[in-house]
């Protein structure tokens, strides 16, 4: 018997003494069906208008930029204006998300749109978000065919379109939304994004875009869920 096999055997025997596989499975299922909630800061106990304001404030404190628009029809202009203001090319790679596809992008014909994932060759990405956490100004994005994770990490500029109905107070509420999804399956990856990427590890000098986008721009659709 190798050392590895001996160690694994000891682990298996130790686990068996604690009630067996079926009991462990029941314990895990019980925890998943009735998850405990952490403490919720009082600042996140607000009505929806208050949560929208708190989310915008916290996101800006984390160096993101935020613009509110009245409807999805206003999103293309908001994206085009941001790109022009930052002197960025009017070329974006967009997540193949039906909610993004429903936006009237053709009203801005100068925008060049590619749909799908990226390998790092695109400068600007546009995605949706599963939730916005007002407590910290954080975006929650789930991986999947309609939301490739590469769009969150590789382009230098990440634009996120989020709707007022996707804003929650604390992180616990965002996890409740994940658990309540109709398909019942957890995604392979959950990304939490608070502001653009940054690091001060080298010489205590803040560098933006150290391990992800150097710009995070949030378009908050305030007039519809």
Residues 88 and 12 in one domain: no
Q: What is the DSSP letter of 19?
A: T
Residues 165 and 129 in one domain: yes
Q: What is the pTM of this model?
A: 0.83
CA quadruple 192, 198, 200, 206: dihedral sign: negative
Residues 23 and 54 in one domain: no
Q: How many structural domains comprise the chain?
A: 2
Residues 70 and 139 in one domain: yes
Q: Which helix (H) or strand (E) holds 41?
A: none
- Among 224, 221, 225, smallest CA distance to 67 is for 221
Residues 5 and 54 in one domain: no
- Among 169, 116, 138, 155, smallest CA distance to 66 is for 138
Q: What is the DSSP letter of 117?
A: -
Residues 27 and 49 in one domain: no
Residues 49 and 87 in one domain: yes
CB hemisphere CA count around 94 (13 angstroms)? 21
Residues 101 and 184 in one domain: yes
Range of the domain at 19: 1-34
Residues 94 and 167 in one domain: yes
Residues 216 and 194 in one domain: yes
Residues 24 and 99 in one domain: no
- pLDDT per residue as tens, the chain (225 positions): 688 888 888 887 776 655 566 777 777 777 777 777 778 788 888 999 999 999 999 999 999 999 999 999 999 999 999 999 999 999 999 999 999 999 999 999 999 999 999 998 999 999 999 999 999 999 999 999 999 999 999 999 999 999 999 999 999 999 989 988 856 678 889 999 999 876 656 666 656 656 678 999 999 999 865
Residues 22 and 70 in one domain: no
What CATH code is carried by the domain that includes residue 113? 3.40.50.10420
């Amino acid at each position: 018997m190798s050392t590895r096999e001996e160690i694994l055997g000891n682990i298996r025997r130790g686990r068996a003494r604690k009630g067996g596989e079926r009991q462990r499975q029941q314990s895990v299922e019980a925890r998943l069906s009735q998850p405990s909630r952490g403490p919720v800061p009082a600042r996140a106990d607000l009505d929806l208008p208050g949560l929208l304001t708190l989310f915008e404030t916290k996101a800006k404190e984390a160096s993101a930029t935020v613009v509110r628009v009245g409807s999805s029809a206003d999103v293309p202009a908001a994206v085009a204006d941001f790109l022009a203001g930052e002197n960025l090319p009017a070329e974006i790679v967009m997540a193949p998300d039906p909610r993004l596809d429903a936006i009237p992008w053709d009203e801005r014909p100068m925008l060049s749109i590619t749909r799908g994932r990226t390998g790092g060759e695109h400068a600007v990405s546009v995605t949706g978000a599963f939730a916005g956490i007002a407590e910290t100004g954080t975006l929650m994005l789930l991986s999947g065919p309609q939301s490739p994770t590469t769009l969150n990490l590789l382009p230098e500029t990440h634009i996120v379109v989020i709707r007022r109905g996707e804003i929650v107070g604390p992180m616990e509420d965002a996890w409740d939304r994940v658990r309540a999804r109709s398909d019942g399956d957890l995604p392979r990856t959950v990304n939490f994004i608070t502001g653009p990427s940054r690091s001060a590890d080298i010489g205590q000098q803040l560098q933006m875009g150290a391990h992800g986008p150097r710009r995070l721009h949030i378009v908050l659709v305030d007039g519809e869920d």
